[in-house]
Structure 1
Amino acid sequence: MAEQQMYLVAHCEPCEECVREEWQFIRDGELRWEAYESCTRYPFQACERGPGIPPPPIRERILAREGTVRLPVGGPDGVPIALLRRVYGLSIAEVVAARAEGYRATPVEARYLTDPAP
């Protein structure tokens, strides 16, 4: 990842007042993500952000909350294989599996991959 910002202040173990938010969005034609954690009981804040696909733990929490979109890969109605490899850095074996089963994307990633760019 070429660009990633992070701000962190350490604290105790997470408690019931800790808040965690993760989200993805498209800005200026680029896929981006942000994650924020804070606690009202203890002095704690953490913020991460970057371009592209979020780190796996953050992406998994987004998928758990927002669900998945199965995208067809290749062919006239599917996501171009070259785009999928560029965005996700998939190996050839992963592309073969995605071609057979479809690719599991977040709703924002699905919009980014299927929306024609101006």
Structure 2
Amino acid sequence: MPEQEMYAVLHCEPCEECVHEDRQSVEDGQLSWESSSACTRYDVRWCDRGRGVPPPWIRDRIVEREGTVHLPVGGFGGVPIAVLRRVYGLTVAELVAARKAGYRATPVEARYLSGPTP
């Protein structure tokens, strides 16, 4: 059985010394994300990262800080529907809505989706 380590540090609610950072990037042709936190008062550090679209709570913080870019979906010059379905896992109903109204992507997602077919 593989060995697994877990560390837990309990501390107060976030204080004025807590620093939190969320970011997206494109690495090796894939959408990536990273979220990190640190508190110098309680010597706590935390980091999480992954490939693809970030979890909703992290994406929401990125959108709050950076805003969104409106992308047309389908047709000439629009993001291919199949790409949206693969990247975001949208349902058919969500794809129909995106086809009509466009899709709101973070700036990094917009660059990724608007570049060569991912």
Q: Would the alpha carbon gap of residues 64 and 18 (structure 1) be closer, same or farther in structure 2, given more than 3 Å must change?
A: same
Pairwise CA distance, 1:48? 0.5
Indicate the residue corresponding to 1:82 in structure 2: 82
Identify which of structures 1 and 2 has the higher relative contact order when contacts are C-alpha pairs closer than 8 Å and 6+ apart: 1
Maintained 8 Å contact 1:9/1:46: no
Maintained 8 Å contact 1:9/1:44: no
1:1-118 equivalent positions in 2, closer than 5 A: 9-10=8-9, 11-116=11-116
Which ranges in structure 2 are unaligned for 5 or more consecutive residues? Answer: 1-5
Letter in 1 for 2:85: R
SS at structure 2 position matched to 1:36: strand
TM-score with structure 1 length normalisation? 0.90
Per-residue Cα deviation, 1:53-105 (whole angstroms, up to 9, x for no partner) = 00000000000100100100000110000000000000000001111111010
Indicate the residue corresponding to 2:3 in structure 1: none
SS at structure 2 position matched to 1:108: helix
CA RMSD of aligned residues (A): 1.6
Larger radius of gyration: 2
Q: Would the alpha carbon gap of residues 117 and 91 (structure 1) be closer, same or farther in structure 2, given more than 3 Å must change?
A: closer
Letter in 2 for 1:42: Y
SS at structure 1 position matched to 2:86: helix
Q: What is the CA–CA distance in structure 2 between the aligned matches of 1:8 and 1:109, rounded to whole Å?
A: 33
Pairwise CA distance, 1:8? 6.3
- Counting aligned pairs with the same residue, the percent is 65
SS at structure 2 position matched to 1:59: helix
State the 4+ residue runs in structure 1 displaced beyond 3 angstroms.
none
